[in-house]
Amino acid sequence: MRKKNKATVKKGCRGSIHTNLDVDAILDCNPHADDCIPDNDVFYKMKKNVLKRQAAEEMKTAPQIYHEEAS
């Protein structure tokens, strides 16, 4: 069984938010998260993991995929 990567963010929130780093789309949005301050480090890691997965599937490096998406 594959272990799921999770990050817990407790920056400016009333409760804790669990983020599944294997998911690259928002499936559900809860109103309690409206007062939370986004943690840029978590968003960076999520984008980096997406690029790593895409690089593993294709014969390109992560920077090449990033430059293609950015242009």
Residue type for position 3? K
Higher pLDDT, 6 or 71: 71
Whether residue 1 lies inside any domain: the answer is: no
pLDDT score, position 41 = 80
Q: Which residue has the tokens 């109103």?
A: 31
Range of the domain at 36: 6-70
Q: Specify the higher pLDDT residue, 41 or 28.
A: 41
Rounded to whole angstroms, the Cα distance separating 8 from 23 reads 15
What single-letter amino acid sits at 47? K
- For residue 18, list its beta bridge partners: 8
Give the tokens for residue 36: 């939370």
Side-chain-side CA neighbours of 58 within 13 Å: the count stands at 14
User: Where does the pLDDT of residue 55 fall: very low under 50, low under 70, confident under 90, or very high at 90 and above?
Assistant: confident
Number of domains in the chain: 1
